[in-house]
Amino acid sequence: MPAHATSEAAPAKINLALHVTGQRADGYHLLDSIVAFASHGDRLSFSPAERDSFSLAGRFGPLLSDKAEGKDGNLVLKARDLLREALAAQGRAAGPVAIELQKNLPVASGIGGGSADAAATLRGLLRFWQASLSSDRLADIALKLGADVPMCLESRPLRARGIGEQIDMLDTMPDFALVLANPLKAVSTPDIFRRLTHKDHPPIDEPPANGDREAWIRFLAGQRNDLEVPARALLPEIAEISDMLRTAGARLVRMSGSGATCFGLFDDRAHADAAERQLARLRPDWYFQATETAGKTIG
């Protein structure tokens, strides 16, 4: 059957809590993280073509490479090539495709933009090529692309441990209204890890067994992001933007991943939308986005 144009969302990945619990002999850090995915993010489009092509659009598109090679090579193209290689090994055709990445999320900002794009590429191209792979083979490809890609492949509430490959679904996590905020300044993830004074923190507490939102907020408030202290030392704007979120009425404020994106949890989407407008007026040169996580409220 001929391929038909399709598109795939690449939701922002938010570390609601992130504990550094150890370090492997190969240098990889062991993490324990509570992860949710926002309704806002990037978007990938896939169209039939005579030859492969890749284009970038959106606010942050000009900041990305449109090549697969090199240290900063685009993960979308690396995902395309690895998936095509895996399908070819099974004798499956994977013809030319025109890919467009609508880059709405800040680059290198701690909300999994590149990893989400890679995961969306895998999902979208399997549909575009009308193909399938075993879940284990797909997970192998995802991990080869980066430690965050397997969880972005799921794009639903989860707890990730190890280097990110040990994933447990959190079906009781409720949805949260929130504002993502970023001063549009990069922080170096390796520098942050180098500044960690302890790399053997205790794991995250056991999450609530039901979907009560207040119980989850209390639970999250008792956790932390172990990367936030060193990140604040490198980029003082993280403290400033966190204070702005609190002043705007956020009930819980924390940095996501290695930063510099912070999030504030609000009572509902209306309050988050109002906070976004207020914050954008104060700092129109920064990034603010009201959104909500896709959770599941039970009981």
Is residue 295 very low, low, confident or very high in pLDDT (cuts 50, 70, 90)?
A: low
Active-site choice (13, 32, 42, 78): 13
Is residue 16 very low, low, confident or very high in pLDDT (cuts 50, 70, 90)?
A: very high
| CA nearest to 110, candidates 233, 251, 263 | 263
| CA nearest to 176, candidates 38, 35, 276 | 38
Is residue 254 very low, low, confident or very high in pLDDT (cuts 50, 70, 90)?
A: very high
Active-site choice (67, 148, 200, 267): 148
Q: Tell me if residue 42 is catalytic.
A: no
| CA nearest to 287, candidates 92, 142, 110, 43 | 110
Q: How large a percentage of the chain has pLDDT more than 90?
A: 89
Average pLDDT over residues 262-274: 98
**72's tokens:** 């900063």
Is residue 299 very low, low, confident or very high in pLDDT (cuts 50, 70, 90)?
A: very low
| pLDDT tens-digit map of 180-199 | 999 999 888 899 999 998 89
Q: Output the pLDDT for position 276.
A: 98
| CA nearest to 163, candidates 61, 288, 37, 27 | 27
| CA nearest to 245, candidates 233, 258, 256, 234 | 256
| Angstrom distances, CA of residue 85 to CA of 126, 132, 133, 288 | 13, 13, 12, 39
| pLDDT tens-digit map of 136-159 | 999 999 999 998 999 999 999 999
Q: Is the pLDDT of residue 226 over 80?
A: yes
Average pLDDT over residues 36-64: 97
Q: Tell me if residue 199 is catalytic.
A: no
Is residue 241 very low, low, confident or very high in pLDDT (cuts 50, 70, 90)?
A: very high
Q: Which residues contact 37 (CB under 8 A, 6 or more apart)?
A: 11, 12, 13, 14, 152, 155, 156, 157, 293, 294
Q: Output the pLDDT for position 2.
A: 61
Task: For residue 170, give the amino acid letter.
Answer: L
Q: Output the pLDDT for position 296.
A: 46
Q: What angle do CA 187, 190, 191 make, to 5 degrees?
A: 60
